[in-house]
Structure 1
Amino acid sequence: MTDIITSSAHVAQAGNAPTGAAVTIRRAADVSQLVNNSDSSRSNARIVIGIALGGVFLDAYDLGALAFGMKDVTREFGLSPSGAGMIASAITLGAIVGALIGGYLTDKIGRYRVFMADMFFFVFAALACAFAPNEYVLAGARFVMGMGIGIDLPVAMAFLAEFSKLKGRGNKAASIAMWCPTWYAAISVSYLLVLFFWSVLPESHSDWMWRIILGFGAIPALIIIAIRSKYMSESPIWAANQGDLHGAAAILRNSYGINAHVAKDADLTPARPVRRASWGNYAALFKGVYLKRTTLATVTSIVSPFAYNAVAFGLPVIISSFLAQSMLTTILLSLALNLLFAFTGGILAVRLVPRFGAWKMMTLGYICQITALLGLALVGRPEDGHQAAISVAMLALFLLGQGFGPGAHTMTYASLSYPTSLRGVGVGFNQMMVRASSTASLFLFPVLAAALSTNVFWVIALAPIVGLLALLAIRWEPSGYDVDAEDFALNGK
Structure 2
Amino acid sequence: MTSPNISVEDVPLNRFHQLLTVRSGGGSFVDGYVLSIVGVALVQMAAGLSLNSFWQGMIAASALIGIFFGGFLGGWLTDRFGRKRVFFVGPILFMLASISQFWVESALVLFLLRFAIGIAVGIEYPVATSLLVEFLPKKNRGPRLATLTILWFAGAAFAYVIGDLILRHGGDESWRLVLASPVVIGAVLFVLRMGTPESPRWLLSKGRAAEAEAVIKQVYGNDFSLRNLPEEPKQKKLSFTSLLHSGYGKRMLFVAMFWTCSVIPVFAVYAFAPKVLAALNLKGDWASFGSVAITFLFVIGCIIATRLINSMGRRRMLIQSFAWSGMALLGLAAFHAGSEVLILTLFGAYALFIGGAQVLQLVYPNELFPTEIRAGAVGVGTSLSRVGAAVGTWLVPMALDSYGIAFTMYAAAIVTFIGLAFSIALAPETRSLNLQQAASLS
Give your verdict on TM over 0.5.
Answer: yes
* Structure 2 residue 246 is the aligned partner of structure 1 residue 287: yes
For 1:90 and 1:101, how far apart are their aligned partners in 2?
17
Contact 2:367/2:430 (8 A) holds in 1: yes
For 1:77 and 1:323, how far apart are their aligned partners in 2?
33
- Tell me how far 1:219 sits from its aligned partner: 1.6
Matched residue, 2:377: 426
* Structure 2 residue 85 is the aligned partner of structure 1 residue 113: yes
1:451 to 392, 402, 412: 402
CA-to-aligned-CA distance 1:5-29 (integer Å, 9 cap, x gap) = xxxxxxxxxxxxxx636x49xxxxx
SS in 1 for 2:372: helix
* Structure 2 residue 259 is the aligned partner of structure 1 residue 259: no
Matched residue, 2:291: 334
For 1:369 and 1:145, how far apart are their aligned partners in 2?
31
CA-to-aligned-CA distance 1:453-476 (integer Å, 9 cap, x gap) = 423222222210100111122242
Which one is further off, 435-444 or 425-434?
435-444
Matched residue, 2:146: 177
**CA, structure 1 residues 123+370, in 2 after alignment: closer, same or farther (shift >3 Å)?**
same
Q: Give the 5 Å matches for 1:166-315.
A: 166=138, 168=139, 170=140, 172-197=141-166, 200-201=168-169, 205=172, 208-209=174-175, 211-230=176-195, 232-257=196-221, 259-261=223-225, 278=239, 281-288=240-247, 290-315=248-273
Runs of 4+ in 1 over 6 A off after TM superposition: 329-332, 486-490
Matched residue, 1:28: none
Contact 2:39/2:60 (8 A) holds in 1: no
- Tell me how far 1:119 sits from its aligned partner: 1.1
Matched residue, 2:419: 467
- Tell me how far 1:114 sits from its aligned partner: 0.4
For 1:428 and 1:301, how far apart are their aligned partners in 2?
12
- Tell me how far 1:395 sits from its aligned partner: 2.4
* Structure 2 residue 385 is the aligned partner of structure 1 residue 416: no
CA-to-aligned-CA distance 1:214-259 (integer Å, 9 cap, x gap) = 32222211101112113x1111221222222222222222223353
For 2:194 and 2:283, how far apart are their aligned partners in 1?
49
**CA, structure 1 residues 443+208, in 2 after alignment: closer, same or farther (shift >3 Å)?**
farther
Matched to 1:338, the amino acid is T
Contact 2:368/2:439 (8 A) holds in 1: no
Matched residue, 1:375: 331
Contact 1:48/1:233 (8 A) holds in 2: no
**CA, structure 1 residues 378+476, in 2 after alignment: closer, same or farther (shift >3 Å)?**
same
**CA, structure 1 residues 351+235, in 2 after alignment: closer, same or farther (shift >3 Å)?**
same
For 1:101 and 1:324, how far apart are their aligned partners in 2?
43
**CA, structure 1 residues 487+477, in 2 after alignment: closer, same or farther (shift >3 Å)?**
closer
**CA, structure 1 residues 354+486, in 2 after alignment: closer, same or farther (shift >3 Å)?**
closer
Which one is further off, 143-152 or 42-51?
42-51
Which structure has greater helix proportion? 2
- Tell me how far 1:338 sits from its aligned partner: 2.2
Matched residue, 1:394: 346
Matched to 2:110, the amino acid is L
Matched residue, 2:16: 44
**CA, structure 1 residues 241+147, in 2 after alignment: closer, same or farther (shift >3 Å)?**
same
Matched to 1:100, the amino acid is F
Contact 1:45/1:256 (8 A) holds in 2: no
- Tell me how far 1:133 sits from its aligned partner: 2.0
Which one is further off, 348-357 or 241-250?
241-250
Unaligned runs of at least 5 residues, structure 1: 1-18, 25-32, 264-272
- Tell me how far 1:283 sits from its aligned partner: 3.0
- Tell me how far 1:488 sits from its aligned partner: 8.8
**CA, structure 1 residues 174+487, in 2 after alignment: closer, same or farther (shift >3 Å)?**
closer
Unaligned runs of at least 5 residues, structure 2: 228-233
- Tell me how far 1:445 sits from its aligned partner: 2.1
2:61 to 89, 100, 111: 89
Matched to 2:223, the amino acid is N
For 1:185 and 1:163, how far apart are their aligned partners in 2?
24
Matched to 1:304, the amino acid is S
- Tell me how far 1:346 sits from its aligned partner: 1.4
RMSD value, Cα:
2.9
1:364 to 292, 296, 320: 320
- Tell me how far 1:47 sits from its aligned partner: 0.6
CA-to-aligned-CA distance 1:86-110 (integer Å, 9 cap, x gap) = 1222111111111111101111111
CA-to-aligned-CA distance 1:317-358 (integer Å, 9 cap, x gap) = 4346753226xx86665344323x211221222221111111
1:148 to 97, 112, 120: 120
For 1:213 and 1:123, how far apart are their aligned partners in 2?
13
2:37 to 48, 52, 65: 65
**CA, structure 1 residues 125+165, in 2 after alignment: closer, same or farther (shift >3 Å)?**
same
- Tell me how far 1:131 sits from its aligned partner: 3.8
Say how many residue pairs are matched: 434
CA-to-aligned-CA distance 1:191-212 (integer Å, 9 cap, x gap) = 33345456x348x74x735x44
Which TM-score applies when normalising by structure 2? 0.88
For 1:197 and 1:401, how far apart are their aligned partners in 2?
34
1:323 to 273, 277, 282: 282
- Tell me how far 1:75 sits from its aligned partner: 5.0
Contact 1:95/1:146 (8 A) holds in 2: yes
**CA, structure 1 residues 261+461, in 2 after alignment: closer, same or farther (shift >3 Å)?**
closer
Which TM-score applies when normalising by structure 1? 0.80
For 1:275 and 1:238, how far apart are their aligned partners in 2?
16
